[in-house]
Amino acid sequence: MVRLKQLWPSLMVLAVLVIGARAVPITKLESAVAKGAVCLDGSAPAYHLDKGSGSGVNNWIVHMEGGGWCADTASCEERKSLMKGSSELMNEDFGFFGILSGNQTSNPDFYNWNRVKVRYCDGSSFTGDIEAVDPAHKLYFRGFRIWQAAMDDLMAKGMSNAQNAILSGCSAGALAAILHCDRFKSILPETAKVKCVSDAGFFINGKDINGGSSMESYYSKVAATHGSAKNLPVSCTSSMKPELCFFPENVVKTMQTPLFVINAAFDSWQIKNILAPTVVDKHKEWNKCKQDFKKCTPTQLQTVQGYREQMLAALEPFRATNTSGLFLDSCHTHCQGGSAALWSGPQGPQVGKTKMAKAVGEWFYERSTFQNVDCPSLNCNPTCPGATTED
Ligand SMILES: *[C@@H]1O[C@H](CO)[C@@H](O)[C@H](O)[C@H]1NC(C)=O
Ligand SMILES: *[C@@H]1O[C@H](CO)[C@@H](O)[C@H](O)[C@H]1NC(C)=O
């Protein structure tokens, strides 16, 4: 009989092969606590770092985790019992996939870079900074300090010698990548090639089903709760209300650093929360449709199709600059670049016959430009995925 003990090493190897990624351990920034850089519950911020090697030792990709926002005391309070609000509750290991993968085959341009995943536990896309701590709730609004503390720590670990660097993220983390992109460039050596990548972070100030702007009202609460205004790009806040400066369409106009946008034209989060949020869908007529487009009425489908038009209009100023990269697929999904399958796998969505790994790599190294908008209608692209991996 083969004993389990003897089998163990080969089972471990098998597990790694099946998962296709090495688990990257967490680093908690205990020293950041003294600077007041803490998660909503007061715990230390955290990241996962997989060190670069060979030709990638001086290259850095810093990717911020997503997970929506909290806009008031009650919703931020809820996060204290989740890993989205406390590093005490975070998983110790993270498998790195897609744009963070250490596998040369699936991530040929970035596999040997220093790859970092900054954990999200502030609920403000790393923009908050309020000194006072509400004694009744013991909630800390310090997202921006977390971002700064993470950057300081990574600079000390070698990022100050970066030759190539990318600030990226998924969803709320992708929005943070846009909001902090120029700042990221400014802390790195002048000689470094620095660019940013937003995966599902192009949240538009779209009209909802009642013709209002629910998302603008929502961001107004986020900004007030977290004290975000002073940490949003000044080039935007100097002429617009803070809540408007959460929208990439208003920020990219004055952004200096090149940005690549990966987004679904029918982004599932945006359809649910910007087009048909529960607050305006009083009779819950959109409940089924916004989960599954097969359950939409013909009129609802037209409205969904119209959302893509809103998205294209919002992207117009961004597309006008020749340094912008764009991979806008006509899929119904949210966050694509963190998945092994979608980033470069055989089932990966294609726009202009290209998968996102190739599009982003070519654009970063300027081997070619890439601005591609998919065929216009829902279901027109047979390479679209049926599922998502992270929100
Ligand atoms: C790397 O990715 C390729 C393609 O997905 C896969 O076939 C291979 O097994 C992976 N290698 C490792 C060491 O996981
Ligand atoms: C973008 O345009 C500027 C000014 O016309 C030019 O100098 C630059 O080389 C262009 N960059 C790319 C990547 O095409």
Helix (H, G, I), strand (E, B) or coil at 93: strand
pLDDT for position 85: 98
Task: Name the residue among 234, 219, 202 with its Cα closest to residue 314.
Answer: 202
Cα separation of 125 and 54, whole Å? 33
- Look-up of token digits 């390479």: 383
Residues with CB under 6 A from ligand 1: 17, 20, 103, 105-106
pLDDT for position 280: 95
Q: What is the residue-wise DSSP string for 313-379?
A: HHHHHHHTSTT-EEEEE--S-S--TT-HHHHTSTT--EETTEEHHHHHHHHHTTSS--EEE--SSTT
pLDDT for position 17: 47
Q: Does residue 323 have its Cβ closer than 6 Å to ligand 2?
A: yes
Calculate mean pLDDT across residues 294-301. Answer: 96
Is pLDDT at 390 greater than 50 in this prediction?
A: no
Q: What percent of the chain has pLDDT over 70?
A: 93
Per annotation, catalytic residue among 171, 198, 228, 344: 171
Q: Does residue 322 have its Cβ closer than 6 Å to ligand 2?
A: yes
Beta strand 371-373 with 325-329: parallel, antiparallel or unpaired?
A: parallel
Query: Higher-confidence residue: 320 or 22?
Result: 320
Is pLDDT at 10 greater than 60 in this prediction?
A: no
Is pLDDT at 8 greater than 70 in this prediction?
A: no
Q: Cβ contacts of residue 154 below 8 Å, gap of 6+?
A: 47, 49, 60, 62, 116
Task: Name the residue among 61, 125, 126 with its Cα closest to residue 98.
Answer: 61
Residue 208 falls in the annotated catalytic set: no
Residue 171 falls in the annotated catalytic set: yes
Task: Name the residue among 97, 109, 50 with its Cα closest to residue 339.
Answer: 97
Helix (H, G, I), strand (E, B) or coil at 165: strand
Please report the atom of ligand 1 found closest to the CA of residue 345. 5
Calculate mean pLDDT across residues 229-254. Answer: 97
pLDDT for position 107: 97
337-351: per-residue pLDDT in tens?
999 999 999 989 999
Residue 148 alpha carbon to ligand 1 centre in Å: 35
Beta strand 325-329 with 350-351: parallel, antiparallel or unpaired?
A: unpaired
- Look-up of token digits 């040929």: 108
144-174: per-residue pLDDT in tens?
999 999 999 999 999 999 999 999 999 999 9
In a mutational test of the pocket of ligand 2, which residue from 259, 321, 322 has the highest number of ligand atoms less than 8 Å from its CB? 322
pLDDT for position 20: 56
What type of residue is 380?
Answer: C
Contact between residue 175 and residue 201 where contact means Cβ atoms under 8 Å apart: yes
Instruction: Name the helix (H) or strand (E) containing 49.
Output: strand 46-50
Per-residue tokens: 131: 């000194």
Cα separation of 182 and 177, whole Å? 9
Q: Does residue 235 have its Cβ closer than 6 Å to ligand 2?
A: no
Please report the atom of ligand 1 found closest to the CA of residue 103. 1
Q: What percent of the chain has pLDDT over 90?
A: 91
Instruction: Name the helix (H) or strand (E) containing 66.
Output: none
Q: Does residue 305 have its Cβ closer than 6 Å to ligand 2?
A: no
Q: What is the residue-wise DSSP string for 221-290?
A: HHHHHHT-GGGS-HHHHTTS-GGGGGSHHHHGGG--S-EEEEEETT-HHHIIIIIS-TTT-TT-TTTTTT
Chain Cα centroid distance, residue 206: 19
Residue 20 alpha carbon to ligand 1 centre in Å: 6
Is pLDDT at 5 greater than 80 in this prediction?
A: no
| Average pLDDT value for the chain | 93
Query: Higher-confidence residue: 64 or 16?
Result: 64
Task: Name the residue among 174, 178, 207, 211 with its Cα closest to residue 311.
Answer: 207
Calculate mean pLDDT across residues 356-376. Answer: 97
pLDDT for position 21: 66
Phi, psi at 94, each rounded to 5°: -135, 130
pLDDT band at 11 (very low <50, low <70, confident <90, very high): very low
Per annotation, catalytic residue among 334, 339, 344, 374: 334
pLDDT band at 322 (very low <50, low <70, confident <90, very high): confident
Which ligand lies nearest to the CA atom of residue 363 in the structure?
2
Calculate mean pLDDT across residues 27-31. Answer: 98
Classify residue 366 as exposed, middle or buried by CB count within 10 Å of its CB (0-12, 13-18, 19+): exposed
pLDDT for position 13: 41
pLDDT for position 9: 43
In a mutational test of the pocket of ligand 1, which residue from 14, 100, 103 has the highest number of ligand atoms less than 8 Å from its CB? 103
Calculate mean pLDDT across residues 185-191. Answer: 98
Please report the atom of ligand 2 found closest to the CA of residue 321. 1
Which CATH architecture does the domain made up of 21-373 adopt? 3-Layer(aba) Sandwich (3.40)
Calculate mean pLDDT across residues 174-193. Answer: 98
pLDDT for position 6: 45
Residue 374 falls in the annotated catalytic set: no
Per annotation, catalytic residue among 267, 281, 329, 374: 267
pLDDT for position 82: 97
Domain boundaries, given as residue ranges, for the chain: 21-373
- Look-up of token digits 């489908």: 301
253-286: per-residue pLDDT in tens?
999 999 999 999 999 999 999 999 999 999 999 9
Is pLDDT at 137 greater than 50 in this prediction?
A: yes
pLDDT for position 386: 66
pLDDT for position 22: 76
Name the residue at shortest CA distance from atom 13 of ligand 2.
323
pLDDT band at 232 (very low <50, low <70, confident <90, very high): very high
